[in-house]
Amino acid sequence: MSSIFSKIIRKEIPADILHEDDVCLAFRDINPQAPVHFLVIPKKEISSLADLEKDDELVVGRCLLVASKVAAEEGLHNGYRLIANTLGDGGQEVPHLHFHIMGGRKLTWPPG
């Protein structure tokens, strides 16, 4: 598997990176759906939430901690939405696990 996210991890494609460590990467979405919209992805290639294995527990936990940290750094003190689109019916377009974090305005429900 070599998705666009894998290319961003390898620095083959530029991205506006907000956070990077050994486990995950956070960067701004190129097609933002809210005033603040960034993604957090694991550096480990995991296709989707549906493909998680027991060994991925620490990876996903780290991604969620980074999502919270970057959301605070981005000023999302009044709240935000975290979404993991999963597989086709869930709207997943890139076959690499990723979390969308959106905020900066009142978000409505249902999203679509």
List per-residue pLDDT tens for the chain, 112 residues long: 578 999 999 999 999 999 999 999 999 999 999 999 999 999 999 999 999 999 999 999 999 999 999 999 999 999 999 999 999 999 999 999 999 999 999 999 887 6
Q: Which helix (H) or strand (E) holds 36?
A: strand 36-42
Distance, in Å, from the CA atom of 28 to the CA atom of 51, rounded to the nearest integer, reads: 24
Identify how many contiguous H helices and E strands the chain contains and give both numbers. Answer: 2, 5
**Does some domain include residue 109?**
no
- Which pLDDT belongs to residue 62? 98
Residues with active-site annotation: 98
**Does some domain include residue 84?**
yes
- Which pLDDT belongs to residue 2? 79
**Could you give the number of structural domains in the chain?**
1
**Does some domain include residue 37?**
yes
The amino acid sitting at 43 is K
- Which pLDDT belongs to residue 42? 98
- Which pLDDT belongs to residue 111? 74
- Which pLDDT belongs to residue 104? 97
**Does some domain include residue 111?**
no
Domain that holds residue 51: 4-103
- Which pLDDT belongs to residue 1? 57
**Does some domain include residue 108?**
no
Specify the long-range contacts of residues 19-27, CB closer than 8 Å, at least 24 apart.
19/66, 19/69, 19/70, 21/62, 21/66, 23/58, 23/59, 23/62, 23/63, 24/59, 24/62, 24/63, 24/66, 26/66, 26/67, 26/70
**Does some domain include residue 110?**
no
- Which pLDDT belongs to residue 110? 84
**Does some domain include residue 77?**
yes
CATH number, domain at 22?
3.30.428.10
pTM: 0.94
- Which pLDDT belongs to residue 112? 60
**Does some domain include residue 64?**
yes
